[in-house]
Amino acid sequence: MVRPLPDAQAHARTDHRKLDVEAQLAGHFGIRSLPTVMLVINGAPVDQFMGALPESQVREFLEKHIVSEVRALRNQAREQADAGAIEEAIDLLKQANAIEPNNADVLIDLAEIISKTGDHDQAMQIIDALPIDVATRKDVKELKARIHLAHHAGDGPSVEDLQARIAADDNDLDAREQLASRCAMMQDYECALAQFFAIMQRDRQFKDDAGRRGLLDIFELLGSDHALTKIWRRKMFGLLH
């Protein structure tokens, strides 16, 4: 007996046929084994599986081919954000969140787009509330690092002004932190690493070890196999030990 999936019925309809009786239909679709489940879209078969599967695997089978309402809203939000319509993108993601409050991907998208408004604190609150198995995902850790760096980069002095401040006062750690974050946002990671390391050398207490935390953020963005990560991680460990 075929049991419908209630929350999937808006996107797919089940139709149970006895193909041992309807042999012509079986021949039309090339079905040679029973039971066979075939997905038909606009009259054409697009995928199938044979035998019985647990409900979770049936859902995975359907999700490969059917764009859910939440996924459609996420796609629309991404398009709006890319076009610069940030508030519209946030509204779309809030609609998606109302439909599926526990959908972690919706929350991650929301945090990323909210951070573009400059509200890094709210973005971090969303990230920090994610379940541990989601928070430890590579893409989430990278997003968290980008939000940290964007927060410290701010909208303050220009890169040239920050460099001038450091030239005038080698221990201007606020200027070094801002410059490091600005460099990271411009993907000048060597500059960013050098400035965060300089902060760590001069004052481990500055903003709760901001130099070390900045280095770790850059390592997260670059990945453990990147040449710069290997070089500066050795330097950091040398300073620590």
For 153-240, CATH gives 1.25.40.10
Residue 10: its pLDDT value, please? 46
- Average pLDDT for 35-60: 77
> Could you tell me which residue, 92 or 8, shows the higher pLDDT?
92
Give the residue range(s) of CATH 1.25.40.10 domains in the chain. 69-128, 153-240
Among 3-12, 48-57, 83-92, 195-204, the least confident range: 3-12
**CATH number, domain 6-63, options 3.50.50.60, 3.40.50.80, 3.40.30.10, 3.10.20.90:** 3.40.30.10
Q: What would the two tokens of residue 115 be? A: 């951070």
Residue 1: its pLDDT value, please? 44
Q: The domain 69-128 belongs to what CATH superfamily?
A: Tetratricopeptide repeat domain (1.25.40.10)
- Average pLDDT for 91-105: 93
Both ends of the chain: CA-CA distance in Å? 66
Q: What is residue 41's three-state secondary structure?
A: strand
Residues in the chain: 241
